[in-house]
A and B are shown apart, each in its own frame.
Chain A
Amino acid sequence: GAVVSQHPSWVICKSGTSVKIECRSLDFQATTMFWYRQFPKQSLMLMATSNEGSKATYEQGVEKDKFLINHASLTLSTLTVTSAHPEDSSFYICSADRTSGKGETQYFGPGTRLLVL
């Protein structure tokens, strides 16, 4: 099946620093990737849609200047949390859209746990 990887799997950083999270589709090309955030015991919340070769589309309430998204190639999207603060601590999950024709078009990465001290 399709595989999506994320790196790093977890990161601890100091408040005010920036953190970059990578999302890669390993065996397929993904024109579209999605970034989600999940707080403890909460559902996944879509943050933004990342489109290769164009600007990301952010959901309402998500600061585009704080969460920088770069979809540099058909297999890589990055999310950079700029000037991270403790309230940004969360579990970040990406998914890559693979239109396989079978319906299960979104494949999820294993997630990145961010802890901001």
Chain B
Amino acid sequence: SQELEQSPQSLIVQEGKNLTINCTSSKTLYGLYWYKQKYGEGLIFLMMLQKGGEEKSHEKITAKLDEKKQQSSLHITASQPSHAGIYLCGADIGSNYKLTFGKGTLLTVNP
């Protein structure tokens, strides 16, 4: 089974709408990373969360890690076409600096 479950798998929103992507694990996450990927390209680092209850924001993107450190959410406010892409969560599950990735969420933002 997938160690990191991402939902939804794909998402289509109208420009200006808010959206949330979730990343869930049955194990404690020692470090939770959010990346954005354009198809066929490398990963762009967005944010990293380590502490339970931590929340970080950058421009219109906010990421949270729950108190139990098993679930994270990525929230985009007032989405724009430039937000379109694949969002991947990656986590250090074994506390060994190796990252396990979710399957990604394909976001489409219609103008």
Contact = CB atoms under 8 A, between A and B. Distances in A.
Are A and B associated in one complex?
Answer: yes
B62 interface: no
Interface of B: 2, 31, 33, 35, 40-43, 45, 48, 50, 88, 90, 97-104
A110 B41 contact: yes
Contacts of A113: 40
A43 B104 contact: yes
Interface in A6-57: 6, 32, 34, 36, 41-46, 49
Given A43-B101, A49-B98, 9 more contacts: A32-B97, A41-B103, A43-B104, A91-B40, A103-B31, A103-B50, A106-B45, A110-B42, A113-B40
B35 A108 contact: yes
B103 A42 contact: yes
B41 A111 contact: yes
B40 A105 contact: no
Interface SS of A by simple majority:
strand
B45 A46 contact: no
A65 to B, nearest CB: 22
Interface of A: 4, 6, 32, 34, 36, 41-46, 49, 91, 93, 95, 97, 103-111, 113
Nearest to A1: B45
A108 B50 CA distance: 19
A45 B2 CA distance: 11
A111 B42 contact: yes
Given A91-B40, A93-B43, A108-B43, A46 B48 contact: no
B42 A106 contact: no
Contacts of B100: 46
